[in-house]
Amino acid sequence: MPMISKLLLLLTIVCALPAFAAEEENKPRTVQAGALLQLLRAPHPQIQGPALARLGPDVPALLVEYAIGVAQPAPVRLRALAWLQWFPTPQTKAVLQEVLRAKNVDVPTTRVCLRAMAFGFGAEMLPTEREYLENRNVHIREAAAYALGDIDDRRVRDVLVAHLDRESDITVRDAIMASLKRVGARESAPAAKQKAK
C-alpha cells in the first residue's frame, strides 16, 4: 500500500469519531482547530500537553491532520508531529511510525519523530531509537542520541555508553553525553529522596 494511502487511512481512523458528531458539536471542533492552528503557527509557543488538551477533545486528531496534511507548511507539520508526544495513543504512535518509515523522509522530520516517540512512548521506543543511533546521517544519530535521554529505562545507559565508544562525530558524542547526564540525574533523584527520608 503506498505511503500516502496508509497515512490517509490512519487519518480516517483517527478522525472517524468526530465526523459522526452532531452539527452543534462540529462548531466546537472548528473552534479547537482554529485555536490549535494559531498555536502551531505562533513564532515560539511555550505550551505543553495539559494546555493543549484544554483546547478540546479533538486536539489529537487535529494534530494528526496537520502533521500529515499537505495543505500546511512544513514548520506547522513538524510542530504538529512534535506535539503528538503529548498524546501517546496507539493512533498517534502509528502516525509517527508511518511518517518515520516513509520513503524519502527528510532529516528534520526524522529528528522530530524520534524525539516525539521517545518522549511520548518511552521504553517501548528503545529498539527504534537504538536503530537510528546507527544511521549514516550524523544529524539523525544526534537526534536519536538525544532522544534516548528522554527514555526512563535502565537499559538506556548501556546503549549510550556502548555507542559512545565507537562514535566518531563530536556532535553525536555531545548528544550522548547530554543524555547520559539526564539519565544520571534521574538515577540519582530516587537516591537523594531516600537520603532525605
Q: What is the pLDDT of residues 127-179, one digit of tens each?
A: 999 999 999 999 999 999 999 999 999 999 999 999 999 999 999 999 999 99
Do residues 41 and 81 both lie within one domain? yes
Do residues 69 and 137 both lie within one domain? no
In a domain, 56, yes or no: yes
Do residues 49 and 110 both lie within one domain? no
Report the alpha-carbon distance of residue 163 to residue 169 in Å, rounded: 11
104 φψ region: left (φ > 0), alpha (ψ -120 to 50), beta (else): left
- 112: nearest Cα among 66, 159, 79, 71: 79
**pLDDT tens digits, 71-89:** 899 999 999 999 999 999 9
Mean per-residue pLDDT over the chain, rounded: 86
Which pTM does this prediction carry? 0.80
Place of cell 521506543: 125
Q: Which three cell numbers stand for residue 76?
A: 506547522
In a domain, 183, yes or no: yes
Do residues 10 and 70 both lie within one domain? yes
Do residues 71 and 131 both lie within one domain? no
Domain boundary pick from 24, 58, 87: 87
Do residues 1 and 83 both lie within one domain? yes
In a domain, 26, yes or no: yes
Report the alpha-carbon distance of residue 36 to residue 52 in Å, rounded: 8
In a domain, 97, yes or no: no
- What DSSP string runs through 7-55? HHHHHHHHHHHHHTS-HHHHHHHHHHHHHHHHHHHSSS----HHHHHTT
**Phi then psi dihedrals of residue 150, to 5 deg:** -80, -10
In a domain, 94, yes or no: no
In a domain, 192, yes or no: no
Q: Domain limits at 137? A: 106-187
In a domain, 92, yes or no: no
Do residues 117 and 150 both lie within one domain? yes
Q: Where are the alpha helices (DSSP H) in the chain?
A: 3-19, 23-41, 49-53, 59-68, 74-83, 90-101, 107-121, 126-132, 138-148, 155-166, 170-196
Q: What is the pLDDT of residue 195?
A: 57
Q: 89 Cβ partners below 8 Å, 6+ apart?
A: 60
In a domain, 67, yes or no: yes
Do residues 154 and 74 both lie within one domain? no
Do residues 79 and 1 both lie within one domain? yes
- 112: nearest Cα among 89, 136, 85, 149: 85
Instruction: Read off the CATH number of the domain in which 153 is found.
Output: 1.25.10.10
Domain count, the chain: 2
